[in-house]
């Protein structure tokens, strides 16, 4: 039986592992579809940045570039989720100082994350 | 289509070397994308940041599980490093790609010079990668000192990371080890733990600006992820001294190539 401190380590470790492997699976799916459909010409030209809602709708339509973007976003969100999990784990452990630090980092990250939704 | 496959292969190469030599992939990925594939500097940095998150998350998961990362110290320093990364990410959008190339070439020279020095650090990094050493690791008790200095250094490391697309471990590890009283193994693991959050803070800025091209970052990131995973399982006991010296020479050459290219001169490409 893991004690509370052990559980913080375990939760943080697991979220990092799950996040990175999930991102890899989504990426393989998108890149596989792109491989079948053919890589677009002029891929280095700047692509329009899609809003979150359009990206997700394109993802469900099976559009390869959007699937790849979603895989990248899953990877980018993994450290944020790690901070959230650590914050709540510290709170549960009644370690309020580090819970507060975690939520501070969360706020700083939200400052950069929120604009990508629009 | 061939570019797509070569990006995956190039990413695998960077991930493999990075995991074997304890480097974040950035110093290899950015020159590869910029000099070989002709990816604009900001997009190369955007792709590199995503790759840095991928390598850091995999390794940090292992380090945290083995209790080698000091989570509490890491999260305290992350307050400063994320702010630095945001500042760096914003700065990268303002200064010219040419200036970014020049700054990056200086970072490569610094990295190459530190790799030439035979240091205890490299030995410990190699040991850290070995699963047997994890099990055998006897970690001393330590007391953290000079936290404000560490916060300042973390801000600077975050700034370099956000500006140039690297992990910033090359700054954080020596500061934690030499000035903050943190044992080297823990400093390496804690730095790795922090790198993902640092890179993520600036990666969202690059993404928002449209500097994360999925057709460049996607295949490179997949390659890096596969290479780093493979490298951490296959090469933990590879003798790295001569590999480091070869890579240091390659980095010096690449640094000069990037510098000359930014200045309008060309020595190879």
CB pairs under 8 A between A and B: 167
Name the pLDDT band for B15 (thresholds 50, 70, 90): confident
The verdict on residue B256 lying in a domain is yes
Specify the pLDDT at position B135.
43
Chain A residue at shortest CA distance from B203: A76
Answer whether A106 touches B (CB < 8 Å).
no
The model's pLDDT over A98-113, given as tens digits with 9 standing for 90+, comes to: 999 999 999 999 999 9
pTM of the shown model:
0.88
Give me the mean pLDDT over the B205-221 stretch. Answer: 92
Q: Tokens in use for B224? A: 């890096």
Q: How far is it, in rounded angstroms, from Cα B237 to Cα B233?
A: 10
What sign results for the dihedral spanned by CA atoms B213, B216, B219, B224? negative
Chain A residues with CB-CB distance to B78 below 8 A: 83, 105
Ordered by start, the domain boundaries in chain A are 12-36+50-117
The model's pLDDT over B231-251, given as tens digits with 9 standing for 90+, comes to: 766 655 566 677 777 878 888
The verdict on residue B175 lying in a domain is yes
Q: Which residues contact B25 (CB under 8 A, 6 or more apart)?
A: B11, B14, B15, B18, B48, B51, B52, B55, B224, B228
The number of distinct structural domains making up chain B is 1
Name the pLDDT band for B217 (thresholds 50, 70, 90): very high
Name the pLDDT band for B259 (thresholds 50, 70, 90): confident
Answer whether B3 touches A (CB < 8 Å).
yes
Contact between residue B162 and residue B86 where contact means Cβ atoms under 8 Å apart:
yes
Specify the pLDDT at position B136.
47
ipTM reported for the complex, 2 dp? 0.89
Specify the pLDDT at position B1.
62
Q: How far is it, in rounded angstroms, from Cα A42 to Cα B166?
A: 27
The verdict on residue B269 lying in a domain is no
Mean pLDDT of chain B: 83
The model's pLDDT over B197-210, given as tens digits with 9 standing for 90+, comes to: 999 999 999 998 88
Residues lower than pLDDT 50 in chain A? 1
Contact between residue B195 and residue B167 where contact means Cβ atoms under 8 Å apart:
yes
Answer whether B233 touches A (CB < 8 Å).
no
The model's pLDDT over B33-91, given as tens digits with 9 standing for 90+, comes to: 998 888 999 999 999 999 999 888 877 887 888 888 899 999 999 999 999 999 999 99
Record: contact B54-A34, CB cut-off 8 A: no
Q: Give the residue numbers spanning the domain of B149.
A: 2-262
Query: Closest Cα partner for B164 from B34, B35, B45, B10?
Result: B45
């Amino acid at each position: 039986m893991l004690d509370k401190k052990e559980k913080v380590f375990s939760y943080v470790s697991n979220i990092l592992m799950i996040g990175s492997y999930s991102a890899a699976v989504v990426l393989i799916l998108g890149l596989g579809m792109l491989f079948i459909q053919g890589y677009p010409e002029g891929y280095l030209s700047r692509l329009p940045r899609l809003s979150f809602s359009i990206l997700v709708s394109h993802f469900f339509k099976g559009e390869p570039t959007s699937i790849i973007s979603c895989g990248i976003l899953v990877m980018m969100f993994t450290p944020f989720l790690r901070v959230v999990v650590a914050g709540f784990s510290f709170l549960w452990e009644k370690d309020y100082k580090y819970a507060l630090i975690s939520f501070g980092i969360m706020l700083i990250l939200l400052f950069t994350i929120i604009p990508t939704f629009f | 289509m061939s570019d797509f496959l070569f990006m995956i292969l190039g990413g695998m190469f960077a991930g493999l070397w990075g995991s074997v030599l304890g480097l974040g992939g950035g110093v290899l990925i950015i020159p590869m994308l910029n000099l070989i594939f002709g990816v604009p500097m900001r997009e190369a940095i955007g792709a590199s940041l995503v790759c840095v998150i991928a390598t850091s998350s995999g390794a940090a998961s292992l380090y945290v599980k083995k209790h080698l990362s000091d989570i509490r110290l890491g999260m305290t320093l992350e307050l400063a490093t994320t702010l630095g990364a945001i500042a760096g990410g914003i700065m990268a959008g303002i200064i010219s790609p040419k200036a970014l190339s020049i700054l990056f070439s200086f970072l490569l020279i610094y990295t190459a010079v530190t790799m030439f020095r035979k240091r205890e650090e490299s030995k410990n990094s190699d040991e850290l990668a070995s699963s047997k050493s994890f099990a055998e690791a006897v970690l001393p008790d330590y007391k953290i000192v000079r936290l404000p200095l560490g916060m300042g250094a973390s801000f600077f490391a975050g700034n370099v990371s956000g500006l140039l697309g690297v992990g910033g471990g090359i700054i954080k590890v020596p500061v934690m080890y030499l000035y903050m009283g943190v044992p080297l193994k823990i400093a390496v693991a804690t730095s790795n733990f922090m790198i993902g959050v640092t890179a993520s803070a600036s990666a969202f800025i690059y993404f928002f600006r449209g500097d994360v091209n999925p057709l460049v970052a996607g295949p490179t990131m997949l390659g890096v992820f596969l290479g780093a995973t493979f490298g951490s399982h296959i090469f933990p006991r590879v003798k790295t001294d001569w590999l480091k010296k070869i890579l240091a020479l390659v980095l010096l050459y690449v640094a000069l190539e990037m510098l000359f290219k930014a200045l309008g001169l060309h020595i190879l490409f």
